[in-house]
């Protein structure tokens, strides 16, 4: 059994100096923001309540994955902390420019975090079992490594009823087909109806695919530009899209 601490030690990282951080999706879509707007993501995790990271020298950062697992995003060194009493108007501008609540200005500290590239080859590949206490999003306890995926792999296809892909995951399937062959095969084998949900507004779009490459062929168009030349989708931000092959009839009430 391989654990996260094993991986730290192999890379000359003292596990005792690292806090494990599993961000939730309440305030930002974590993986999508990490992949597409890294400055905003780094600003998001810099503002915390006082002493949230304790005396740690670094944080190993994860996003929610399936159920109680988490996917590794990266390692950030902690180079210090700006106290709330030292905040100024430049600090406030950092919040407003990145579209975060101004109330953070009154009750947060700002950690000076610097990306450490030592584990970057495991970013978006390393999956750990976080455990049932997902509410405890900052921990120190060692975690079991569930999987180390191939480059840009999103994991094996399981069933159409469980197909629920973010825009980032869809792009990985298309751009890194060799690492996602089970998805390519499954989506290429069927035609029919699919659903795209805009998580930001809650609105739904129902589409259909009947080409030679099935759902895969149609979704490859969306992966190129986010809207697949559909006029209703063009004004929307695809980073908030979810692509579903199976859905409940009541979902169509919002179309």
Q: Is residue 25 very low, low, confident or very high in pLDDT (cuts 50, 70, 90)?
A: confident
Whether the model pTM is above 0.75: no
Q: What pLDDT does 245 receive?
A: 86
Report the length, in residues, of the chain: 255
Give residue 158's pLDDT band: very low, low, confident or very high (50, 70, 90): confident
pLDDT at 247: 60
251 has pLDDT over 60: no
pLDDT band at 253 (very low <50, low <70, confident <90, very high): very low
Whether 79 contacts 113, CB under 8 Å: yes
**Mean pLDDT over residues 144-160, rounded?**
87
Buried (b) or exposed (e) across 4-39, using 16+ Cβ within 10 A?
Answer: bbebbeeeebebeebbbbbbeeeebbbbbbbbbbee
Region 193-203: what's the mean pLDDT?
Answer: 91
Is a pLDDT exceeding 90 seen at residue 156?
no
CA-based diameter of the chain, in Å? 62
pLDDT at 26: 85
Task: Compute the C-alpha angle 200/203/205, nearest 5°.
Answer: 125
**pLDDT at position 154:** 84
What confidence score (pLDDT) does residue 64 get?
Answer: 93
- pLDDT beyond 60 at 66: yes
Which pLDDT value is given to residue 212?
87
Three-state DSSP at 111 gives strand
**H or E stretch at 12:** none
CB 84 within 8 A of CB 46: no
The confidence band for 151, taking pLDDT boundaries of 50, 70 and 90, is confident
Residue from 230, 244, 253 nearest 167 by CA: 244
Instruction: For the chain, state the CA radius of gyration.
Output: 20
- Collapsing DSSP to helix, strand or coil, 60 comes out as strand
Helices (H) and strands (E) in the chain, counts: 8, 12
């Amino acid at each position: 059994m391989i654990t996260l601490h094993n991986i730290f030690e192999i890379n000359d990282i003292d596990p005792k100096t690292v806090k494990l951080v599993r961000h939730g999706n309440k305030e930002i879509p974590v993986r999508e923001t990490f992949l597409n707007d890294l400055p905003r993501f780094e600003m998001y995790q810099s503002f915390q309540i006082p002493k949230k990271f304790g005396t740690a020298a670094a944080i190993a950062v994860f996003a929610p994955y399936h159920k109680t697992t988490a996917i590794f995003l990266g390692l950030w060194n902690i180079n210090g902390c700006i106290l709330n009493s030292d905040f100024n108007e430049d600090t406030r501008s950092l919040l407003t420019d990145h579209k975060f609540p101004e109330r953070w200005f009154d009750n947060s500290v700002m950690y000076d975090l610097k990306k450490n590239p030592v584990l970057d080859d495991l970013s978006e590949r390393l999956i750990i079992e976080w455990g049932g206490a997902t509410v405890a999003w900052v921990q120190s306890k060692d975690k079991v490594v569930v999987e180390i995926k191939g480059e840009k792999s999103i994991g094996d296809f399981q069933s159409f009823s469980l197909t629920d892909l973010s825009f980032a995951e869809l792009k990985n399937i298309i751009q890194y087909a060799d690492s996602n062959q089970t998805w390519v095969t499954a989506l290429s084998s069927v035609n029919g109806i699919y659903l795209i949900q805009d998580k930001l507004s809650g609105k739904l779009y129902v589409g259909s695919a009947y080409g030679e490459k099935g759902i895969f062929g149609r979704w490859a168009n969306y992966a190129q530009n986010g809207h697949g030349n559909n006029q209703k989708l063009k004004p929307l931000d695809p980073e908030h899209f979810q692509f579903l092959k199976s859905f409940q009839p009541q979902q169509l009430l919002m179309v």
